[in-house]
Structure 1
């Protein structure tokens, strides 16, 4: 009986420690928390003009000047696109987290779409953006995509409201 109790306590300790978030990820979550304006979307690593649908939602131009809100206490957020001739305006809700850096990438912001009742509407599918820089005033995120088999990097530049 004592051996089972010790084993159970050890397993609980491993489980709890595996669920903890590093200080770096916690600091980034705290910096992300709040309202941001997406000031600019542009492309790197390839020449030419690009027009793309971002996050399987709207054209890149629709995201410029969109408002993003991150709530760190329950890992939910939203972005709001303004209504326009090319843009279906409104709020899009998401659940987000910061993924710890690894050998292959820096820290990443990951999110998936949810409805206004916080239920997953993306079928578990989500997005990851590399956190290139994050300060109390500015944030730059990048995502790597492929266009006709050629790598292109989408750059998202935010400012804190």
Structure 2
């Protein structure tokens, strides 16, 4: 799997061709793993957002619920995740998080502070090592109009 640090003048919302953006906190604090599973890709596509637009707290909630389902022997689907979470805006940027819908919270103790995480981003090559192979054509990597490859 290939990772690349941004060069001077490159931005998180404009990844180079064939790459997508992640933040250090997605891996370090939110425990995102590779390849990114099809349920995550399908869920984000249903919401029409990119993984790079999701706060670390949002990723942590998503990963936590998937792990909890796995531990309980329950395969969660994009439809289930959509019924469980609501998308919420983070700050004034085009960034989002997830909150459980009313009476749906099963995971407690998430930190409320998401400050500073946008400063440390990197690029990941879009291939079957980074994203579930069946989801490569669906994976959104570009901010703005549509976002597909």
TM range (shorter): under 0.3
TM-score using structure 2 length: 0.28
TM-score using structure 1 length: 0.26
Larger Rg: 1
> More strand per residue: 1 or 2?
1
> More helix per residue: 1 or 2?
2
